[in-house]
Each structure stands twice: as C-alpha cells, then as structure tokens.
Amino acid sequence: MHDALNGLMEYLVLGLTRGSMYALIALGYTLVYGVLQLINFAHSEVFMAGAFGSYLVVERFVSEGDKPPWYGVLGILILGLTSGALVGAIVAYLLERVAYRPLRKRGAPKLAFLISAIGASFFLSQLAGKLFNRLNNNTFPEYFDLNKAVFHIGPAKVSMIQAILIVSALIMMFFLDTIVSKTKLGRSIRGVAEDAPTAALMGIDIDKTISRTFIIGGALGGAAGFLFGTAFVFSNTMGFQPGVKAFAAAVLGGIGNIRGAMLGGMLLGVIEATVPTAPWHGDTTWIPGGNAWVDVVAFIILVLILIFRPTGILGERLGRAA
C-alpha cells in the first residue's frame, strides 16, 4: 500500500509537469479566442518553433560533458526561456500579419481563418522538417546531471527537470494574469474581447491590441517549447499532440478564460497521468494497458465537457475573466 502511494505521488508530479505545459500552450489558444472568437490552430507550431529557436541558442553555450555550476544552469535556463519566448512571439506576430489580418480586413468568413491557420501550421511544420532534416530525436545538450538532480517532496521523488518546468510555468502564468488584470495593455485586451467596436470608439487600437495578444500567447508557447524540449525529445511534428491536448485543456477550463486555461491544463495533466497509468494497487493499474490510454483521456474529457458543460469549468470569456 505504501509503495502504491509513493507511486501515485510520483505520477501526480508527472501530471503537474505535463499540465504546466498544456496550460502554457492553452493560454495562447484562449487569448486569441478571446479577442477574435477564433481558434489559432497554428499555435502548436509556434510551440514547436520556440523549441527549435531556443535549441539553436542554448547549443552555442553548452558543451556536452561540461556541466556548468548552478549559476551557469540558471543563466542557461533564462537564456533558453528568453530565446524560446522571443522566437515564439516573432512567429505568432508573423502569423497574425500574414494568416489573419488580411482576412480580417476583408471581412472573410470564419472558415477562411480556419483554413488559413491550418495551412500556416503545415507550412511551419514542413519548413522546420526541411531545415532540421526531419529528425525525431532532437535533444537539448544536458546542462546539469539528470541522474543526480533528484530530490524528495514527501514520498514523491522529483527530478530537477520537473521542478524547473512546474515552477517556470507557474511564474509565467502569474505574470500573464497580472498583465491582463492590472495593466493598460490588459484592459485593452479585455476591452477588445468584450466588445471590439465599442473599444475602438473609446480609443483602443484594435489591430495593435490583437497583434500584442498574439505576441503574448506566442511568447508563452515558445517558452513552453523550450521547457518541453529540455525535458523530452523534440521534432518538427512535436506540436500536434500537445497542441490538441492544450486545446482540450482550454475548453475544459473555459475557452477564452485565462484562469480557466491554467486550471484546465493542470487538471488535464493530472488526470492524464494518474487515471489510466498510476498504480492503484501494487504495480498494477485499474485500466489494463493503462499507458495505451494516456492520449485517449484528453479526447474523452473534451467530448464530455462539450456534451455536459460546453462553456467549461469557469465558463467566462476573456473580457469578463478579470
């Protein structure tokens, strides 16, 4: 029983690690939906671009087998997050200017936006595959010893990678919530989300606000790409599964609601890690072949939420979220 509890706690930590990634990506979906009432299906490739962009930067500063001291690790972490966020922000801004704004100016139907986003998604994925030889086992150079960087929180064994992912994600989510709820930019974003024509009459630059919303969401997605690439392997197709699950997380929490995206991401990660795979009795799971069901959980939750509570757990639009 004690071993099962220890195992469950470790799966809970794993769930929080996954959930923090889903939450960061989901914020990009929910921000864009809040101001445009559209889903940016190319956001998963913004996440992917952040991973590759930060990889190119970090690789220049880290030599394999030469582990830097702790303050060097902190510097690399900040460098990776910054470069990933910058690349993600640039890609998201270009997406808005190329794939969205021309259609919005022409009053195109929403289906046109969907097709444009899917086309941009394929283009970015294939471009990254072309530039990086379509490798599926890209890894960041290790900037600390993974085998030794382990500590315990109660009965749970936590790796330094997991701690970095969870803490970094929580800090970024806190700052985003502060920006949206307490700054002039945040008031502009909420105003456009609530009523764009009225916001324009009150002096808010709609185009600039939408671009900045894409940039913020892209920066969070790009930073998540760096964190994901640090903990796992990455490739030009890495955005698909996390992107779909992050979308499910955004719907779970309440699409268009920032705090709902955070909550939905964390909940989905925990459910995904503990329900089908965690050992509930000794070394066995309550679902036979539990690992095979991990990717199914997100879709089951998405369907159930859409059936029984289409507005999600918190169920508010961005304009009313704060």
Whole-number Å distance between alpha carbons of 124 and 121: 5
322 pLDDT tier (thresholds 50, 70, 90): very low
Letter string b/e over residues 23-44, b meaning 16 or more CB atoms within 10 A of that residue's CB:
bbbbbbbbbbbbbbebbbbbbb
In the three-class reduction of DSSP (H, G, I as helix; E, B as strand; rest coil), residue 152 is classed as strand
Please give the average per-residue pLDDT across 102-129, as a whole number: 89
pLDDT of residue 213: 92
Mean pLDDT, the chain, rounded, equals: 81
* C-alpha 227, offset from chain centre: 10
Please give the average per-residue pLDDT across 35-55, as a whole number: 89
Residue 159 maps to which CATH number? 1.10.3470
pLDDT of residue 321: 43
Please give the average per-residue pLDDT across 233-258, as a whole number: 85
Whole-number Å distance between alpha carbons of 313 and 300: 16
Scanning the structure block, which residue is given the tokens 């220049």?
60
223 in Cβ contact with 91 (< 8 Å): no
Parent domain of 301: 2-321
151: alpha, beta or left? (left if phi > 0; alpha if psi -120 to 50): beta
CA–CA distance from 5 to each of 2, 156, 157, 168 (Å)? 5, 9, 12, 27
Per-residue model confidence as pLDDT tens digits over 188-224 = 988 888 888 888 888 888 889 999 999 999 999 999 9
288, two tokens:
């036979």
Q: Of residues 273 and 66, which shows the higher confidence score?
A: 273
Whole-number Å distance between alpha carbons of 207 and 224: 26
Whether residue 92 is predicted with pLDDT greater than 90 in this model: the reply is yes
pLDDT of residue 302: 78
Whole-number Å distance between alpha carbons of 33 and 319: 11
Whole-number Å distance between alpha carbons of 189 and 25: 18
Output the pTM of the full model.
Answer: 0.85
Whether residue 184 is predicted with pLDDT greater than 70 in this model: the reply is yes
24 in Cβ contact with 172 (< 8 Å): yes
pLDDT of residue 162: 81
Q: Kindly report the backbone phi and psi dihedral angles of residue 284, in degrees, each rounded to the nearest multiple of 5, phi listed first.
A: -110, 155
234 in Cβ contact with 52 (< 8 Å): yes
Angle at 98 between CA 223 and CA 96, to 5 degrees: 45
Whether residue 233 is predicted with pLDDT greater than 80 in this model: the reply is no
Scanning the structure block, which residue is given the tokens 């903990």?
231
- 204-207 contacts, C-beta under 8 A, 24 or more apart: 207/101
Q: Kindly report the backbone phi and psi dihedral angles of residue 153, in degrees, each rounded to the nearest multiple of 5, phi listed first.
A: -120, 100
How many domains in the chain? Answer: 1
Closest C-alpha to 173, from 214, 211, 217: 217
